[in-house]
Chains A and B, each alone.
Chain A
Amino acid sequence: MSAPLLLFLATGSIALGVTVLRNRPKSSAAITAIGSALMAVFALLVMLDDPLVVLGLPIKIYSTWRILGRALVLDGGNRAAIGFLYLTGAFVFGAAWATKASRNLYYIGLLSLGSIAASFMIQPFLFAAVFLEFTVMGAVLILVSPEYPVPRGGMRLLILYTLAMMAILLAGWMLENVGVTSATPELARRATLLLAFGFSVIMAVPPFHLWLPSAAGETNPYSLAFVTVILQSAGLFFLLRFLDNYAWLRAMPELFDGIRLVGTAMVLFGSFLVLAQKSFSKVMAYALLTDFGVMLLSVGAGTPEGYRLALGLSAVRVVSLSVWALGLAWMLDHPRGDRLQLLRGAAHRSPLAATAALVGMMSIAGFPLTAGFPGRWGLLLTLAPLDPIAGWAILLAFLCVGATAIRWAYTLLSEPRLRERKAINFSERLFLGGGIVMCLVLGAFPQLLYPWVVEVAAGMTQLFP
């Protein structure tokens, strides 16, 4: 039996099992979260290609699964990333029941994780683009639901990723078969252009971010958080694998300058637009855009330290964004009730949820003592001497998203629109409180997360010599 096949069978079986549990969000959340965690443990700890004895039976789990002439391989280069991915899923699924998210989030979310895992394992890795396309198909089904039926954001996401997939596949063919190197500048230029387009879509670089604000206004915030977290994590890993595999790409001096320029532009774009939003979900979308920009800035540093920080920021986003989205989704009285006027005084009705939303937002902004701060601070110290403009952009992002957080805190704390408190049970209190504590603990003790996350890239020997 091969490990990738086992992983897919387990993912598929759990997803199938969850489809039976209609209208039982707590059970669905528990099963998907536990299943995801178990698969993370399997990916991280399973002994590959060595005989072992289970319940007295000798078995051997192979690292490779060959199908239709291609191979899916679980090895030291990707098992930490797959483990991280499934743990992210476990973390997000665990609290999903409290958010009134569509039931698609559970089983299609799990299948989407399987698809991303396949994108990590496929050899040659260029075909990962096709699996990212499958993930996006799942993402559309998660974003659009009977409660949130407007499909605009989902359709834009599907269109953009389909185009990106084609660009990356063509670029991949050029790289693998035509022999693109630094000695073939014309071909290298073509391949770089295709890759730049593909990764601009995957990294939501404006104007290819358009799906994000559209979806933000029209979908459950927690579902959106899940989709952005998994797509961005997969996209970052894919980008790092490209950089790791192609020396000529790393050797292009203008590449990292270009990535930093794009990152700076994204940060500025997101920072200014976040100030103008009157919907809390759209604030989340533009704050995320600044966060993606900051992540690109750390990749653009072009140093192992920068790549580590990018991975760390990606992991921190899982916690910060989930807590923000959890708080926001819990506060909403209506599927589209995230407008400024509708949330006025919401902190009086749901104090814990409002606190969670604000703490998550402050963490995305990079406030001191929140999970987002250590990564931003580390990046500022690394990047400011190399590129002062990028350093200023990081500070500007902090100021703009921070100012927006203060403005929304004022709104949430102002005179309530409705006076009665929203009922909250013990488990909801536990998840909301736990999320807030986690954001603060990771801010105070970043060493709990960062060293472990860096292991995700252990297999990229060229980037992390």
Chain B
Amino acid sequence: MKQQQQVGTIVGSSVHLTGAIKDSSDIQIFGSVEGEVSSDSKVIIEESSYVKGPINAAEVVVSGMVIGTITAKQRLELNPSGTIKGNVDTSDLLIHSGATFIGKSNMPDTKESPVVSEEKEDFKLDEEAEEDEDTEDKD
């Protein structure tokens, strides 16, 4: 029982779980889960496993089968043996060759918005316009 304090939740391969599981530490799934899986840390879906339901975590690694939406705030990795049938929402997506992904991916736009650059251009244009006006006045 010393082990359990280091790891969070482990769903063994012989376990069939129904309902929502939540943990602040890592969740590692070898068995099958029908319901929501959420962790403040990492969710690892192992090769033998099956998850039907949404997954919310900072990091998600999929080597088994997932049917449902995945929200991985930091990173989502889909290994060659993994399958995702559902939409994913993450800022860092890594899909290995051989993996199956059926769904849409959404990434937050973290880069500098083009509107800002347009504003800069506008600013330049305004400056140019002012210069033009000045030259006109001089004339």
Do these two chains really belong together in a complex?
A: no
